[in-house]
Each structure stands twice: as structure tokens, then as C-alpha cells.
Amino acid sequence: MKSVTKKRGAAFAIDLAISTAVAFGVEKLLRKKVKNEAVHALITPTVVMWSLEYTQLRICGSTVGYQALGLTLETEEGGRPSSRQIVKRMAYRDFISSLDYLKDRKGFQLEAGTLMPHDRYSGTIVKETECSCKPCK
């Protein structure tokens, strides 16, 4: 597996952990008002994760996980992704991308892991940035 692919997986795990903690808190607040368990199991975690990811990508071009591992999301031209690109990327990744993986595992990642199917679909690319943390300096 390529270096960027490993970093992307680790960054997603970091973002998922943060999202899970926030979703747990939101669920506690909503538990008294919403009695349907399907909402708490399916809708709340998805809405929380998408909201956190969208906000972070829109404001600074990377999530907490991406920043921790020295990655950034850009358009193919090198600018910050638009709202439409971010939403297209998240929706494709969460709903369709697994089918792409089952169809063509070898062609799933291109350009050393910087370009995956949801990136091609949304016109974005993940790039490595120089780490600015104290241990790396």
C-alpha cells in the first residue's frame, strides 16, 4: 500500500474517532426528544461526520486527521475545493466508492494514493504537505 493511502486511512480513523465522540454527545442531547433508534444509529452519526468534515474542509482545506498526518485536499488546479466538490466527494465516498473497489481493486487508487474514485468524481486531489509539528522539525 502506498504511503499516501496509509496516511489517508489513518487520517480517516482520526476523523472518525472525533466524529464518534461528538455524535455520542449529540445523541445524549437528542435521546429525550427523538425516540426512534434508527435515527440514533444511522442518521445522527452520518450527519455529525458530514457536518464536521464539510466545515473543516470548507474553512481550511483539511480535516483534523489530514492536518495531523500532513495531508491537504485541493482541486485539480491547486485551489481550495468548492462546497459542491466537498459534498460530491463525501456522498460518492460513502455510497458508491465501495462498489468501485469491488469491481476493480487494482485500479482503485491512482497516482500513489493521491487520487481515488471519489476524488476523480469530485475533481479533487489529496496532497502531502510538509509537516509543521515540533517532532518533525
> What is the residue-wise DSSP string for 63-79?
-HHHHHTTEEEEETTSS
- CA proximity to 128, closest of 54, 48, 64, 67: 67
User: Are 73 and 60 in contact, with CB atoms under 8 Å apart?
Assistant: no
Identify the pLDDT of residue 134. 42
Tens of pLDDT, residues 5-57: 889 889 999 999 999 999 999 999 998 888 888 888 889 999 999 999 999 99
Identify the pLDDT of residue 110. 61
Could you list the beta-strand ranges (E) of 3-123.
71-75
How far apart CA 29 and CA 24 sit, in angstroms, is 9
* pLDDT, average across residues 112-135: 76
pLDDT higher at 109 or 15: 15
Phi-psi region of 126 (alpha: psi -120 to 50; beta: other; left: phi over 0): beta
Bridge partners for 74 per DSSP? 125
Q: Where are the domains positioned within the chain?
A: 3-128
Give the three-class secondary structure for 50. Answer: helix
Please give the grid coordinates belonging to residue 37. Answer: 433508534
